[in-house]
Chains A and B, each alone.
Chain A
Amino acid sequence: MQSFKSKGLIAFISALLCVSLAFVFMVNRASAHKVSHDAETLKAFNDAFMEQVILGDELFHGATMEGINMSNTGMACAMCHPFSSDVHPHEYPKFQEQMSEFATLRDMINWCIEKPNEGEIIDPDGEAMKALEAYIYWSNRGSVLDPGRH
């Protein structure tokens, strides 16, 4: 009985710990999903996403941020891709004709920055790239996944 009791207590404490850790490290721990999400939490997740979408939208339409220079021609992404059309994020990864290689969306974003825009390529895992990706995916949401399509 004793051992059962103590096992039960340990389980109880671990559960408590898990719940509190889940709140503390909500976005960092795999255990985050062990509690249900209230509306406020979901809004916080969405706000974190939309913040990136809006930053990406600005960058895509010619804004800049410290440490990057995406264009030296006055060209912005949106000048060839209004509404981010003809970006086709849902078709990556694929063989990319311009690059003559198998490429991801991030590869292609950097190709456009370097070639048509004559800018400086950005960190493929950096803040600007993630924001651009967030905007492009958001703007194309509902498109049907079709990787590899030319």
Chain B
Amino acid sequence: MTDNKHDRDQVVGNVDITRRTFLHKSLLTGGAVATGSAVGVFQTLSSMEIASAAMSEPFSFAWVSDTHLYPRELNQRFIDKTVRAFSEVQAMGDKFDFMVFGGDLAQLGHPVEIELGAELLQEVTIPKHFIPGEHDWYLDLGESWNKHFGETPWTFDHKGVRIIGVDSVGRAPDYWSARGMSNEERMAHMSGLDGSQAGPWSGLGSEQRQWLSSTLSDWPKDAPVIIFSHTPFYEYFPPWNFWIRDWREVQEILAPWQNVTNIHGHVHQPLYNEIGGMRSIGMLATSWPWPYAPEGVPELTRPMLRVDPGDHFDGVGWGNLAMNAEAHMEVEYMMWREQVFGVGRADSGTGDNVNQKLSPRISDRGWTGD
């Protein structure tokens, strides 16, 4: 098996090419790329080669997200991977202007988990910016999170780029009050990706959309914008909240800006899409990889190589991102393995789903047999 892996790398060529995604359309389609079936709703741009008048002073930053920490005594493995990511970021600290933590620091939003996360985050001494994930939020509706990491949304300008962090998790329609759920029950329903009770919880909401609109209003239309969110800014797979429910309204707000990059977590997988004038990039988790959506991935996504479930350091990692001098994003998935992307269909982690038909779960729907 090891020999086969080696052969595949030789076929692809330079290992750097398999690890690094330059987010130019020409380079994305330049190699032997395995794709899943495209999902029809995406309006895909023919090119993201934007003739941008605004050049950027190049800079790099790191992304870590989805550490999903449990209390120390329950799970050491997620701690080990979090520590590894933070120390690797710190070791390359000179290169990065800042680090973004992209949410799902905790598994069940417990103050003990959030405090453990805060403690581990001390390893990283470069400037840090935070956005919450749903796992951080629904035990106490953001109280512990905001206490440790401050409120979202936020914005700052950095080397010619307007940088924005939003909360795409904390504004769920209330699914708990009418059902009389305790805080723990509310969190439990939220913590299962495929649950039936928490509904379309991911979205910006009208207040935050207004904030986004006014935050961008003074920014030149050809100048680059980076927006960090926990969930993707388009409709990838709503049943797992691999979307924001108000993505159409958000697209409308962003439409006048020609160079918008959305960096998101939550999906625990490499993902790439272009929609409107925006590119959206899915990042790795440190904890574990989710499977790709049953319906397939956006056409522009290079799916990652199938994950070895016997190695818990496989299929996970963190992100090394850069805005280059042409104001294009570059992403390197810092995955703890040699080969990141699948080559052939059978290797891709999506090619296996051709005969698969799935149903949502039933036991959390209150089924009584009648």
Residues of A in contact with B (beta carbons under 8 Å apart): 47, 50-51, 53-55, 57-58, 61, 73-75, 78-86, 88, 90-91, 97-98, 112, 115-116, 138-146, 149-150
A79, A82, A84, A116: the one within 8 Å of B310 (CB): A116
B331-370 vs A, CB cutoff 8 Å, 1 = contact: the mask equals: 0000000000000001000001101111111111001010
Known A51-B369, A74-B75, A82-B240; judge A139-B363 contact (CB<8 A): no
Total number of B residues with any Cβ neighbor in A under 8 Å: 36
> Complex Cα distance A141/B70, Å?
34
Residues of A within 8 A of B310 (CB): 98, 115-116
B308, B361, B364: the one within 8 Å of A139 (CB): B361
- A88 touching B363, Cβ below 8 Å: no
B290, B309, B361: the one within 8 Å of A115 (CB): B309
B74 lies within 8 A of chain A by Cβ: yes
Q: B149 CB to closest chain A CB, in angstroms?
A: 23
Known A83-B294, A88-B352; judge A78-B309 contact (CB<8 A): no
Residues of B in contact with A (beta carbons under 8 Å apart): 1, 70, 74-75, 77-78, 107, 192-194, 239-240, 288-291, 294, 308-310, 312, 346, 352-353, 355-364, 367, 369
> Complex Cα distance A145/B363, Å?
25
Q: Which 5 A-B pairs have the closest CB atoms?
A: A82-B194, A142-B357, A57-B363, A144-B355, A86-B291
B70, B358, B362: the one within 8 Å of A85 (CB): B358
- B357 touching A85, Cβ below 8 Å: no
Known A74-B70, A75-B288; judge A85-B363 contact (CB<8 A): no
**27 A-B pairs whose Cβ atoms sit less than 8 Å apart in the complex:** A53-B362, A54-B363, A55-B363, A57-B362, A61-B364, A73-B74, A74-B70, A74-B74, A74-B78, A75-B288, A79-B193, A80-B290, A82-B192, A82-B193, A85-B291, A86-B291, A88-B356, A90-B356, A91-B352, A116-B310, A116-B312, A141-B359, A143-B355, A144-B355, A145-B355, A149-B355, A150-B346
- B355 touching A97, Cβ below 8 Å: no
- B294 touching A57, Cβ below 8 Å: no
Known A51-B369, A74-B107, A98-B310; judge A83-B361 contact (CB<8 A): yes
Q: A87 CB to closest chain B CB, in angstroms?
A: 9
Q: B1 CB to closest chain A CB, in angstroms?
A: 7
Q: A75 CB to closest chain B CB, in angstroms?
A: 7
> Complex Cα distance A116/B310, Å?
6
For the residues of A in contact with B, the DSSP-based class is loop
- A98 touching B358, Cβ below 8 Å: no
- B294 touching A80, Cβ below 8 Å: no
Residues of B within 8 A of A144 (CB): 355, 357
> Complex Cα distance A73/B289, Å?
16
Residues of B within 8 A of A145 (CB): 355
- B70 touching A47, Cβ below 8 Å: no
Q: A58 CB to closest chain B CB, in angstroms?
A: 5
Residues of B within 8 A of A112 (CB): 309
4 further interface pairs, Cβ-Cβ under 8 Å (given A78-B361, A115-B310): A57-B364, A80-B309, A83-B239, A116-B310
Q: A39 CB to closest chain B CB, in angstroms?
A: 13
- A97 touching B1, Cβ below 8 Å: yes
Residue of A nearest to B350 (CB): A86
Known A73-B77, A98-B310, A112-B309; judge A140-B369 contact (CB<8 A): no
- B291 touching A140, Cβ below 8 Å: no
- A143 touching B357, Cβ below 8 Å: yes
A61, A86, A97, A116: the one within 8 Å of B361 (CB): A61
- A61 touching B75, Cβ below 8 Å: no
> Complex Cα distance A104/B320, Å?
40
- B362 touching A84, Cβ below 8 Å: no
Residue of A nearest to B289 (CB): A80
Known A74-B70, A140-B356, A149-B352; judge A80-B291 contact (CB<8 A): yes
Residue of A nearest to B195 (CB): A61
- B288 touching A138, Cβ below 8 Å: no
Known A47-B369, A51-B369, A116-B310; judge A90-B362 contact (CB<8 A): no
> Complex Cα distance A135/B360, Å?
11
Residues of B within 8 A of A81 (CB): 291
Q: A143 CB to closest chain B CB, in angstroms?
A: 5
